[in-house]
Structure 1
Amino acid sequence: MFIQKHNISTPTTPHLQGHSIDLNTTILSIRKTIYFVLITLLATSCNSPAYISGKLEGAKKEGVKMYLLQPENLRDVAASFFGKVIDSTVVNPDGTFEFQNVPNTKEAVLLEIAIALPGKNPNYLQTDNQTKANFMPIVWQSGNPLKISSKVDTFQKSFSMEQPSEVNKALVALKDINQKAYQSYLAGKHWELEDGSQLMEKEHAILQYQTELINFADSTPYLMPALVATRWVSTANDYERVPEFLVRQCDTWKKKQPNHPWVKQLCKLSEPSNLPVLVGDVFPDFKLPMITKDTLSLKAQLGDKLTIIDLWASWCAPCRVENREILGPIWDTYHDKGLQIVAYGLESNEPAWKAAAERDGADHWPQASHLQGDDTPFLKRIRVKTIPANFILDDNGVVLAKNVHGEALVNWVKNYMKN
């Protein structure tokens, strides 16, 4: 007899069966995910990568130490003794090193890696000789390990980074510009400054070096590289010769990142009260005591077409040369064509002042002085501390140019007077 077997389990409807398959698939997927996460965590704990690591060539002595610094303010960038030490490491015999105590932040922060110099503090930075600079700024962001390489004696100059972010690429490019400009204009140069005869040559070389960094800062789309360039322009925070640059940087970054604390500090530096009269400003009127004993309004002395406000002193060697070789010929050529020169002397000795003006032929144009040396109300009003200096004004007293000297001044006046 044939006996038919029947399935005694409760049959599953097609609708319920579909849900059973989906649930099993989901459970399996969750198990796989948990397994993958556990394996990843285990691998990470066994072989944790250094956050900032690299290799330093030429570390002949054992125990070469490196520091990781965090500037807390804009003024701390590229400044000795201000950066906060947040980590240190000793270079291994094979030259490798690593930092792991880095800021845990999603926001990008500027750090500086520095090699310890004998007898110096951990946060000492070599800024006088760029070829020997012992530090390099980098931008750190959590979750993005950095690997670098360099040489112990030329740390900044030879610094490189594997697969840098765009902002770190910009910092490396800035480093290269800085090193090249230093080699071109300042490295190995010695100027005779005891008698002031080569002061202008030195100032011109410094300005050429600064201009390379200024051009970078004006063109980069990244805040931190721009601010590093700004600090490298003058680690002493002296922007008297390039104040318009500070104003441009403030105007740029307060539009892009107005709430960044360093942008606010930058804009504080660029306030008018902290800077000399700028190109484009109307030069302030001032009642000046003249060498003739008169007191005259500066505005009343303006030329019909052009006026040079010249700041000088009888004891300033390059000023005296400028009187004889530059201003004298300019006066003779263009005074009858609408050019005026008004000179202001940083003098305390009236006889010496008058004798120098007469000897140089500078008594041909108006001479003024409060005879208070460099502690004078006029210089305080226009916020100038360094001479030789000059301001070139149009017939309305608007500043067209500043601190143009030598043949450059002759050519500037010549070209302007043609118009």
Structure 2
Amino acid sequence: MSIISIKNTTGFILMTLALIACHAPADISGKLEGTEKKVIKMYLIKPETLRAVGASYLGKVIDSAVVNSDGHFEFHNLPKDKEPVLLELALKISEKAPNYLQTDDPMKSNYMPIIWQSGEPLYITAKLDAFQKSFSIDDPSEINKALLDLRDTSHKAYQSYLAGKHWQIEDGSQLLEKEHAILQYQTTLIQFANNIQYLIPALVALRLLSPENDYERVPEFLVSQCQKWGEKQPDHPWVKQLCKESDPSNLPVLVGDVFPNIKLPMLTKGSLTIKDQLGKKLTIIDLWASWCAPCRKENREVLVPLYNKYHDQGLQIIAYALESDESTWRAAAERDGANLWIQASDLQGDDAPFLKKIRVRTIPANFILDDKGVVIAKNVHAEALMDLVKSYMKKK
């Protein structure tokens, strides 16, 4: 073979390799419907910590893609990790940052979490105006199926409990109703996380439950997830982060704990310790304030009837008020009939030392204790609280 022929052959091979490289299959590709005459940009986001999962502005943008006129898009710059990696595929929203995730309404979410396994391309389809809701993966892996199931579970629960609801919370009158609806939605995600056998979908469910990272009302869930995954995958960095957050010293007093025997200053002057005032059968530790509308309603419609009916049978109520003015506190307690039971306050308003000791920030709140001071229930209100007390007093 002549030198010229060798050069021509070499040039042909190099050109062919270049063309192959230019048309290498994308790691993640797909088609977005409803993009006609619109310039759409998409981003791949990698959460590097547990707290960054499903949270706006915290994930790291690792790649971007412009959606073509026919709706097709491709991503090529994927992580080379040997282990599966959680990524979030997100649509660009107007002037928001690339790592902005719309989290307040899952039905309108602009992102979808997926698991990327190096060497296993993904093909995705979705609709522009219902991105997360319509998101699908061709022949998904079992773990991606779990994430799609979580999406369906979240959307169904949101539709059932939260979609289209408008509560009057300015005056606090429907605050408890709103909290109850949120808890019902969260309980669905808790059940999913408790039942799933894949770590990442469980942690995504945990983060969907509260993108704001507020687990004050469900701290027992954090503890149970730490116990579950701490046994199965103790070395995973996100499990370590989860267990750090679920340390009891960071959480409100848990169901099953003995309630701290704290000394409290009384409305009637002097002080008392909780242990010395426990009811013979049941004690309600009630956290309230004169300015808290649902607290006042609970005083009149729930606690007064319960106290009148069951105090002589062994029910005790110890109330702690977030007050700064004694006269206001006294007037509210007398007006509601709440001066029937023990009333305590440090008169330091929202800076109440008692709440700091039991690590609670939000009221209305309560703890239900047995005769030994063990917490048997928390944050039970209205008719549910009346039913709990009635049932407990009967069986004891």
Corresponding position of 1:111: 87
Corresponding position of 1:404: 380
Give runs of aligned pairs for residues 3-402 of structure 1, distance below 5 A. Answer: 48-402=24-378
What amino acid sits opposite 1:126 in the alignment? Q
State the distance in 1 between where 2:270 and 2:294 align.
28
Change (3 A) 1:184 1:383: same
Larger radius of gyration: 1
What amino acid sits opposite 1:348 in the alignment? S
State the distance in 2 between where 1:88 and 1:291 align.
62
Which piece of structure 1 moves more, 202-211 or 41-50? 41-50
State the distance in 2 between where 1:381 and 1:61 align.
58
Deviations 1:96-134 (A, max 9, x none): 111111001220110000000011110000001211100
Number of corresponding residues:
379
Could you list the runs of 5+ residues in structure 2 that have no partner in the other structure? 1-16
Contact 2:186 2:209 in 1 (8 A): yes
The alignment partner of 1:156 has SS state of helix
Deviation at 1:43, TM superposition (A): 11
Change (3 A) 1:121 1:343: same
Deviation at 1:62, TM superposition (A): 3.1
Could you list the runs of 5+ residues in structure 1 that have no partner in the other structure? 1-40
What amino acid sits opposite 1:392 in the alignment? I
C-alpha RMSD over aligned residues: 1.3
What amino acid sits opposite 1:402 in the alignment? K
Deviations 1:270-304 (A, max 9, x none): 01121000000000001111110021111111000
State the distance in 1 between where 2:364 and 2:89 align.
39
Deviations 1:209-235 (A, max 9, x none): 111111101110000000000001111
State the distance in 2 between where 1:75 and 1:83 align.
9
Q: TM-score, normalised by structure 2?
A: 0.94
Deviation at 1:166, TM superposition (A): 0.6
State the distance in 2 between where 1:60 and 1:310 align.
57
What is the percent sequence identity of the aligned residues?
69
State the distance in 2 between where 1:97 and 1:87 align.
12
What amino acid sits opposite 2:89 in the alignment? I
The alignment partner of 1:374 has SS state of helix
Which piece of structure 1 moves more, 256-265 or 61-70? 61-70
State the distance in 1 between where 2:25 and 2:89 align.
18
Deviation at 1:45, TM superposition (A): 5.0
Corresponding position of 1:17: none
Q: TM-score, normalised by structure 1?
A: 0.89
Deviation at 1:46, TM superposition (A): 7.8
State the distance in 1 between where 2:369 and 2:37 align.
60
What amino acid sits opposite 1:78 in the alignment? G
Deviation at 1:266, TM superposition (A): 0.4
State the distance in 2 between where 1:63 and 1:335 align.
68
State the distance in 1 between where 2:280 and 2:101 align.
52
Deviation at 1:180, TM superposition (A): 1.1
Deviation at 1:60, TM superposition (A): 2.7
Deviations 1:124-168 (A, max 9, x none): 000012111000000111011111111112111111111111100
Deviation at 1:42, TM superposition (A): 11
Deviation at 1:61, TM superposition (A): 3.5
Contact 2:147 2:201 in 1 (8 A): yes
Contact 2:36 2:70 in 1 (8 A): no
Deviation at 1:368, TM superposition (A): 0.4
State the distance in 2 between where 1:106 and 1:44 align.
25
Which piece of structure 1 moves more, 406-415 or 45-54? 45-54
What amino acid sits opposite 2:223 in the alignment? V
State the distance in 2 between where 1:268 and 1:155 align.
34
What amino acid sits opposite 1:181 in the alignment? A
Deviation at 1:67, TM superposition (A): 0.3
Deviation at 1:63, TM superposition (A): 2.2
What amino acid sits opposite 1:218 in the alignment? N
The alignment partner of 1:170 has SS state of helix
